[in-house]
Structure 1
Amino acid sequence: MSGDAKTVYVDCDAGRRLGCRTYCCRLLVKLKPHEMAESVNGLPAKGYVDKNSQGLCVHMDSETWLCKIWESRPETCREYTCNDDFMLQVAIREGFENIADLARKTTTAYIPKETYVKVPTISEGEVLSEPKES
C-alpha cells in the first residue's frame, strides 16, 4: 500500500441502518503475498481471510460489530471504500441473503452513480475511541 493513501472511515452503524447488513465484512478478502501465513506440509499458503458460518469475516466481533484486528487488518480492507461500490448500492436498495444472492441481483440492477446512497464518514478519533463504561 502506498504511503500517500488516505484512509476514510465510514460510520458502519449508519451503514447498517441504511441497509448494508455489514456488506463489506461479507466480501472475499484476498491477502497480498506478504500477508499470507507460512504454508505447512508443502500446501500453498491460504490467500484469503476466512468467513464464519454466517458468511462474515472471522475477524469481526459479533457483539460490537467492530474489526478485532483493525490495526493489522489486510491491505485489501484498508484500501476498500464502500461508497464507490456498486454492489453496496444494490445491497442497500434490494437487500440480500448472502453474497451469491447479491451478485445475482447486480446482473440486472441499474443505479446511476449520481444517485448512490453514501454511508456517512466519521473522524479517526471517533473510530479509535473506546466506549466509556457507565
Structure 2
Amino acid sequence: MAWTMHWYDNVHTIVLFTVEKNSTWNDFHDAMNRYAQELENTTKKIDVIIDDRFGLPSGSSLPHLKVQMKKLEKFENFGLIVSVSRPTTMSFLLNIIEMSSKFFGIAMKKGVMVKTMHEAIKLIEISRTQAQ
C-alpha cells in the first residue's frame, strides 16, 4: 500500500499514515476509508498525521477531498488531520483547501499543514487540551 497505516501511540488515538512515492488518489481513498473504519469501531477521538514528503497525486484533488471530508465529518470522534509536508506541497495544499471550502462548502476546520512531526504532535496536544 502506498499509504502505510500505523498507530502513533499505544492507546490508539493517533493514526500515522506514511505516504510513499507515486501514491494515487485510490490510495488516498483507501487510507481515508481505513480511518473511517477505525472511527466507526470506537467512541474515542482519533487524530491523524499524514507524513507526505512527495506531494499530491496527479489530477484534481477537489473531488477527492470533497468525498472524504463529507464522509469523515459525520463521525463525532473525527479528530484533527495534520499533514507533515514539504513547504511547497504545503502551500499548494492550503490553496486547494481554501478553494474547496469556497466552491464545495467543505469545512476543513480540522485540517492543518506543518513542516515537522514534532509540530504535528504539538498541534494535536493543543487541540486535545482545548477540547477538555
TM-score of the superposed pair, with normalisation by structure 1: 0.26
Larger helix proportion of the pair = 2
TM-score of the superposed pair, with normalisation by structure 2: 0.27
Structure of higher CA gyration radius: 1
Larger strand proportion of the pair = 2
> Higher RCO, 1 or 2 (CA under 8 Å, sep at least 6)?
1
